[in-house]
Amino acid sequence: MLRWLTAALLCLACAAAQASAPRDAYPSVAKAYWVEIDGRPTWAGQPDQPLPMASLAKLMTALLLAEHGQLDGTVVVSRGAAAATGTRLGLRAGERFRASDLFTAMLVRSANDACRALADWRGGDLATFVAMMNTRAGELGMHDTTFANACGHDAPGQASSVRDLAKLARAAMAEPLIAADAKRETFAFKSLGGRAFSVRSTNALLGQFPGAIGLKTGFTPGAGRCLIALAERDGHEVLAILLHAPDRWWDTVALLELAFDEARRAPATAAR
């Protein structure tokens, strides 16, 4: 009797796990993707495959900074930050900025020099900050993630899975500073020496897709086009994550619309 009961409980547990597991409904949209509807994983492809994540790594940098606080401090741009490649503001070594301004520029414009300046400031040096990133990833249960740098440049060992990035996105959006900056379309600020900067968000969904509230774009040759998109509509929230997505904007719009349609139909189906 006990064996029969144990077997029955195991079967029920397996059935429940299968029912709650996300389905690979749209395998052509990206090398790996993840869609949550109201916090429920719904569709996913290769959810646990570690892949290069490009500037999506900046979300972990932002999370560490937001959790630490003290963004009212002053950052002196390091030589490493001034030499950063890729998307950048053109910061000069020795320039001084409010940490909060560089934080916003990092998230809005995905500026690598702002990101590196903040990492050097917070960690004392890049290696120390990257170690902090990996420690925090472990605390969040991001077991398929390893960071090799703060800003997402292609590097051996710099990889994450879409499941892990969903955990990071939820933790990041729980921080009011990140949530506010994630939906900014533009940002203007000055160095403490008076040099003016004006940037526009790299997220093409903001102001264009109804309900878009973030979150982060990314691109490198190794990672391809990446995106974490978050949108709210009619009381529902949809999170979509794509890694190495050839047509990230149109495919993300399609996934979001399909997910909102699924959310609208779900209550009616449950009521039958």
Residues with catalytic roles: 55, 58, 110
User: Please, which residues have CB within 8 angstroms of residue 92's CB and are 6 or more apart in sequence?
Assistant: 77, 82
Pair 232, 36: CB distance under 8 Å: no
- The torsion angles phi and psi of 170, rounded to 5 degrees, stand at -65, -45
Residue 76, classed as helix, strand or coil, is strand
d(CA 44, CA 191) in angstroms, rounded, equals: 43
Helices (H), the chain: 2-20, 58-68, 79-82, 99-109, 112-123, 126-139, 162-173, 176-182, 248-271
d(CA 174, CA 156) in angstroms, rounded, equals: 30
